[in-house]
A and B are shown apart, each in its own frame.
Chain A
Amino acid sequence: MKIIKRTIIVVFCLLLIPVAAIATAGAKQRFEDGPNRVFSGGPLVAGELHSGPDPDWSFVSDIPTIEMQLLDPAQSRRIWIAEYENKIYVWSGYMGNPIGRLWKQWPIQAERDGRAVIRINGIRYERQLKRLRTGDVLDGLTAAITAKYPSATTRAAVEAGDVWVFEAAPRS
């Protein structure tokens, strides 16, 4: 019995090392201007704030990821982006999975308060995230997503709630 107890203690102690590393890296990123990979970063501070009409968004087809910050909470993350009919969209997969929902908090926060700032090529854009649950636009949009990324996103997955899609519309 004693050896089992000791084994549990040893395993627990050894697990503390990677847990400390992950917690520290995650906490450190919160104080940075923007995200890195999976850990949320702080508010997007650097970069010119775009004003005026929207640009021709077709250039985002060549951009693998963007930085996006919600105003509430003021945290940023790195995400994929797609353009379709000169509108831009962001999305989150894994939303039908408990671990995914634990990992991806931003879609839930964005549905509550969609005010966001995105930074692309060093320029910040103020946007309003509007969730798309259904509609024919999803056919073309998911085709654009799967053409750009190794993603199995489908209209059915969006409508089933496994993928949450948001239009990053201009903020009025």
Chain B
Amino acid sequence: MKNFYIFTAVAVVATILAVLFVPGVDDYVERTFQVYLGRAAR
């Protein structure tokens, strides 16, 4: 489990950095979120 926790922590940090600094990632996240939010609200 320890390795899994490390993997999760690294993945979360990498995700945050990608959203903040990699062009287009924030828009992709928002677009995907919009799809699921729209379905949930119907």
- Whether the Cβ atoms of A99 and B15 lie closer than 8 Å is no
Interface SS, A side: helix
Interface SS, B side: helix
- Whether the Cβ atoms of B4 and A10 lie closer than 8 Å is yes
**Number of A residues whose C-beta is below 8 Å from B?**
24
- Whether the Cβ atoms of B33 and A25 lie closer than 8 Å is yes
Partner of B41, one of A25, A28, A100: A100
Residue contacts A-B, CB under 8 angstroms, 5 given: A16-B12, A24-B29, A25-B19, A29-B30, A37-B31
Residues of A in contact with B (beta carbons under 8 Å apart): 6, 9-10, 13-14, 16-17, 20-22, 24-26, 28-29, 36-39, 94, 97, 99-100, 103
